[in-house]
Structure 1
């Protein structure tokens, strides 16, 4: 097959609207806390009904960990508006003395044995609980309390079909062509994910009740009960984050090799099942319950980006500007020519952890195809290439690119640096609890029942999120 999808060979083929077209969705995790910032260990609120049947609001690992899942939209703005509405529903529906911790690293945690595993009904529920019991034994319950934002993305099918029509003379099926689109994005993402971690990282601090290995990486004490780092941006994505015990590098050159490698990880005992492979970006099939079989049969349906810390400065956990940049970044990854450096996966993990733990250390370097390079130099190089893409295809995203460039060239603009300033003044727990309480207040101000009754979409989200309430 000729050189696969570059700016040069699709220039003039797609309109700006076609290149930007896609399907978007979000998943947001958040811990329920009390007014002092302690984890609430009460059961998942009954108002949300059966966790397995509620399409929008469920739990993740723990009864204390609410998970919001939006439907898929062909507009990023619509997906974000839905996430906003579901966040408001959760904030107003949980008990009055509870709040949602809007941080990726956890609040004040009880003893590890007191953290309640999520409870589910029926045979499927038993399987889910058994899976969580095994995860707790393997990784520890405290690490399971790390939360995040998952960003789901696929390219519009009509755009893929138009790209494929330009390749019909090549010996490749449509399914494999579509797989290669997502595999190329994935490979480039795993090479360059460090930039997203730098731009969206917001976990420089942890409470003393979190894991010792995390606390040991943080050199500063907030004077109350928490620790923080002035050099790191995202300890959620650091060497002590929620990762597989062994570094696992499946092949991403084609789906069959990826599947065979994951199967071998399971056979060797490194994974209990396919979904235990914790990667910064995940290939998602049509049927997640039959993950590997579905990938082989119907191919990749969409990608799930998993590197993004919860943004405590936004009630939704992610800003619309950041969401728009991630979209632009994924398009860039599709069109960017790939490096042939053989150790790209291990180098990607090295860069990920260096950025997470030492992004603001002026003496550190990243590795680019085995050679040292300064963070600002490489970041600006990538942003320049994205800017060139923006100009060529007239995407009109220059304002978003400029915001990211400011974060690169002036670290004080990053979420992590802003958080450190707040933590040094107010402490980690007090400042983040204050944010959670404020978010709940603003949600009550935002929810208008009359508007919901007169809006079919909002009414659907409301009634399915809160099945025991009727407006």
Structure 2
């Protein structure tokens, strides 16, 4: 039975696992949510230059429809629900509502952007004249200076997962672990995150959907890693065995953030290290300046402006209160849920993600919770990074070997061992359902492991070859198809009324915020950044050593 953490003898062994019957009812009530990004584009494929549509409400105050970096980069947010089908149904309804309220535009069906990707051609998101609205806009300006707009309009899906309070009370009692419940839960979630990092290479292998990018992206990204790409056709570049170029060096990987490490060995260490990163000035960012000619360019000149700037495949989250820093929320109230951030938008799914994917991720998260999760040392940290990049760049290469505790192991061997260990969890989640939805989702992914040509990344390249399409032509074709699909399947009247009311409420809230009497913005910003103690300098980091290219 799951009591003490299960030991892991990978890559050469397997173990039996039994989930206590007392825990099974609680793991079936885990909460699932999605945050799905997507660019608004013209029917010809260019990024929309129009403001966030007023028909969708106010991006600052709408709970389910907002924007990310750009006015054109929508973010659709579902509530956290115990029923995964209900959660995806909500996401589908959001797509229906959006696609009927963006005039003649389309919602891009892929993670990697197309069109004119020069930073000057990408409109940065605006959130009104309130202090918090100005702060969100200036933060995005800073991202543009630091990384360029091309990188910032890469889209993805975040899968959020948590277990109910009742589970944690039962689990702590079952494991006979001392201490206060919040600390116990934080420790367990951080262990889950470390294991999701160890085994997280499985996610881009199975669900990566960006093996190719447009020439405009290569030109706009202007990365030293672009030379490693091969030419697919006159306007497309790719890697033959790539699964997720979004998660590769040409995507989110950043040399400045690679210059420091953030520990996931405990919540305290995580908060400590991110606090440091938001407090240490960096020379190239100092050259950009914070406020030049009376106008803000970025929030700070530190390694990170705010903690959300840190790019990682999975992170602990706690809902924030008005004007509360995420680190302060974690420090005060612990971890509420985990956020898996390595999912590409699936080009072959209208909503970008399938129910089978969410079921697999739920089961994988539980496996990572129950697995033994030793602290990361430098070797483990480097192995996690090596494996993630190897799978992103060449995950479908049949000869690919990953590193596990210093040993090489074939990806397929390791992946099937993990799936074998997932079977008991999936059976528990099925709870006697004759359709066995979780087990079926697992078996589907096991087939994908045995047959790499079934991956979304492989199917994408095969479709491009068979139909003689560039990557931009393929995703534009799918974007037209899905936008039309959502427009032709109208919402129920009651659902539409609820969404219309949210739009009206969000616009009214924004109006009140913009008209409210507030303290001067400089004072507001000073107060915001004063809420985390000043940390010591990172050991071994020379802030003058690296240059941003």
Q: TM-score, normalised by structure 1?
A: 0.92
Residues matched between the structures, number: 460
Q: Counterpart in 1 of 2:499? A: 461
- Farther-moved stretch of structure 1 (39-48 vs 131-140): 39-48
Q: d(CA) in 1 for partners of 2:171 and 2:21?
A: 8
Q: d(CA) in 2 for partners of 1:317 and 1:393?
A: 24
Shift of 1:344: 1.6
Q: Counterpart in 2 of 1:259? A: 271
Q: Counterpart in 2 of 1:309? A: 344
Structure 1 segment 84-123 matched on structure 2, within 5 A: 84-96=92-104, 98-121=105-128, 122-123=130-131
Q: Counterpart in 2 of 1:222? A: 233
Shift of 1:119: 0.9
The C-alpha deviation readout for 1:368-408, integer Å capped at 9, x for no partner, is 11111111111111111112444577754321111111111
Structure 1 segment 207-356 matched on structure 2, within 5 A: 207-210=214-217, 211-213=221-223, 215-223=226-234, 225-244=235-254, 245-247=256-258, 248-268=260-280, 269-287=302-320, 289-339=324-374, 342=377, 343-356=379-392
State the SS of the aligned residue for 2:382.
helix
Q: Counterpart in 1 of 2:442? A: 401
Q: d(CA) in 2 for partners of 1:392 and 1:25?
A: 21
State the SS of the aligned residue for 1:267.
coil
- Farther-moved stretch of structure 1 (240-249 vs 135-144): 240-249
State the SS of the aligned residue for 2:338.
strand
Change (3 A) 1:41 1:275: same
Q: Counterpart in 2 of 1:154? A: 162
Change (3 A) 1:9 1:420: closer
The C-alpha deviation readout for 1:52-93, integer Å capped at 9, x for no partner, is 121111110001111111122121111110000001111111
Q: Retained in 2: the 8 A contact 1:59–1:66? A: yes
Q: d(CA) in 1 for partners of 2:504 and 2:237?
A: 38
**2:206 aligns with one of 168, 185, 199:** 199
Q: Retained in 1: the 8 A contact 2:36–2:156? A: yes
Change (3 A) 1:265 1:431: same
Q: Retained in 1: the 8 A contact 2:3–2:175? A: no
Q: d(CA) in 1 for partners of 2:19 and 2:59?
A: 47
Q: Counterpart in 2 of 1:417? A: 458
State the SS of the aligned residue for 2:200.
helix
State the SS of the aligned residue for 2:343.
coil
Change (3 A) 1:458 1:172: farther
State the SS of the aligned residue for 1:61.
coil
Shift of 1:339: 5.0
Q: d(CA) in 1 for partners of 2:262 and 2:117?
A: 36
- Farther-moved stretch of structure 1 (22-31 vs 239-248): 239-248
Q: d(CA) in 1 for partners of 2:423 and 2:261?
A: 31
Q: d(CA) in 2 for partners of 1:105 and 1:76?
A: 26
- Give unpaired runs (5+ residues) of structure 1: none
Q: TM-score, normalised by structure 2?
A: 0.79
Q: d(CA) in 2 for partners of 1:467 and 1:228?
A: 45
- Farther-moved stretch of structure 1 (283-292 vs 319-328): 283-292
Q: d(CA) in 2 for partners of 1:394 and 1:47?
A: 40
Q: Counterpart in 1 of 2:510? A: none
Shift of 1:336: 1.4
The C-alpha deviation readout for 1:407-443, integer Å capped at 9, x for no partner, is 1110110000000012222221111111111111111
Q: Counterpart in 2 of 1:76? A: 84
Shift of 1:221: 2.0
Q: d(CA) in 1 for partners of 2:505 and 2:483?
A: 21
Structure 1 segment 136-151 matched on structure 2, within 5 A: 136-151=144-159
Q: Counterpart in 2 of 1:127? A: 135
State the SS of the aligned residue for 2:199.
helix
Q: d(CA) in 1 for partners of 2:198 and 2:506?
A: 46
Shift of 1:251: 2.0
Shift of 1:467: 6.1
Q: Counterpart in 2 of 1:20? A: 28
Shift of 1:341: 6.5
Q: Retained in 1: the 8 A contact 2:278–2:307? A: yes
Change (3 A) 1:52 1:394: closer
From the CA coordinates, give the structure whose radius of gyration is larger.
2
Q: d(CA) in 1 for partners of 2:89 and 2:309?
A: 31
Q: Counterpart in 2 of 1:427? A: 470
State the SS of the aligned residue for 2:486.
helix
Q: Counterpart in 2 of 1:438? A: 481
Q: Counterpart in 1 of 2:530? A: none
Change (3 A) 1:393 1:33: closer
**1:41 aligns with one of 49, 54, 61:** 49
Q: Retained in 1: the 8 A contact 2:194–2:376? A: no
- Farther-moved stretch of structure 1 (140-149 vs 64-73): 64-73
Change (3 A) 1:218 1:19: same
Shift of 1:464: 1.4
